[in-house]
Copies of this chain bind each other. A is one copy, B any other.
Amino acid sequence: MATFHHYPFCPQSRFIRLVLGEMGIAPATVEEKPWERSQSLLMINPAGHLPIFVEEQGLAVPGAAVIAEYLDETRGLGLDGRRLLPDHPADRVEVRRLMEWFLVKFFEEVSAYLVTEKIYKRFMKAELGGGPPDMAAIRAGRSNVRYHLQYIGFLIGKRNWLAGPDLTYADLAAAAHLSCVDYLGDVPWEEDETAKAWYARVKSRPSFRALLTDRVPGMAPAAHYEDLDF
């Protein structure tokens, strides 16, 4: 059986949990604390980041984007028989463009700020940067998320799903990152009804259920976090 190393509130890990769910793959899971950069984690991924997918034969596949490409090449089809990274080169460009948008740009501008400041820092030792959140970083994340929400609304105004007619990695990457921010109550859904309706559709998929039951110890989610009709 394969093993999946992740942290429940790491948005990159959540993306691959959704992918695995959509593909019907249920690996063993190991919860890691990404802020500790433990030796055992660095042994399987020298870059030190999550998630990591390890095949039963030992091959370690590190990082959300690399895992997504690998699973497409080795497992391929979602449960409904469609590829989450579609076949045509131009469609693949659009899915990868948006996947990178959320895994890199949204992460740098929104989710890394909010998750680090509000969640990771609660558990980090003071000498590793733990302590009270940096309010300037939180304000930056909260401000930046509005533009991304608008962009989702703009795309969904033209298409059924983010990258085209079908659900793809782009939707899963975007929803995974947004779900962490949503737990913290920092997505201004009222500002874009189109984006909100798209998120409700992704959120109601069976692959999303496990994410909705995750809890940060000592920190309740936003009131609507689990609500499929928020």
Contacts and interface: CB of A to CB of B under 8 A. Distances in A.
Interface of A: 46-47, 59, 61-63, 65-66, 69-70, 73-74, 89-90, 92-93, 96-97, 100-101, 104-105, 151
B59 A90 contact: yes
A66 B104 contact: no
Q: How many copies does the complex hold?
A: 2
A100 B65 contact: yes
A105 B151 contact: no
A47 B98 CA distance: 10
B101 A47 contact: yes
A96 B65 contact: yes
Nearest to A67: B93
A20 to B, nearest CB: 16
A109 B158 CA distance: 37
Nearest to A59: B90
Contacts of A73: 89, 92
B46 A70 contact: no
B66 A96 contact: yes
19 contacts: A47-B100, A47-B101, A47-B105, A59-B90, A59-B93, A61-B93, A62-B97, A63-B97, A63-B100, A65-B65, A66-B96, A66-B97, A66-B100, A69-B69, A70-B96, A73-B89, A73-B92, A74-B89, A104-B104
A70 B93 contact: yes
Given A61-B93, A74-B89, 20 more contacts: A46-B151, A47-B97, A47-B105, A59-B90, A62-B97, A63-B97, A63-B100, A65-B65, A65-B96, A66-B93, A66-B97, A66-B100, A69-B69, A70-B89, A70-B92, A70-B93, A70-B96, A73-B89, A73-B92, A104-B104
A97 B90 CA distance: 24
A147 to B, nearest CB: 11
A92 B104 CA distance: 20
A50 B105 CA distance: 14
Nearest to A108: B108
Sort A-B residue pairs by CB-CB distance and give the 3 closest, nearest first.
A66-B96, A61-B93, A59-B90
Contact of A69 (B46, B47, B74, B96): B96
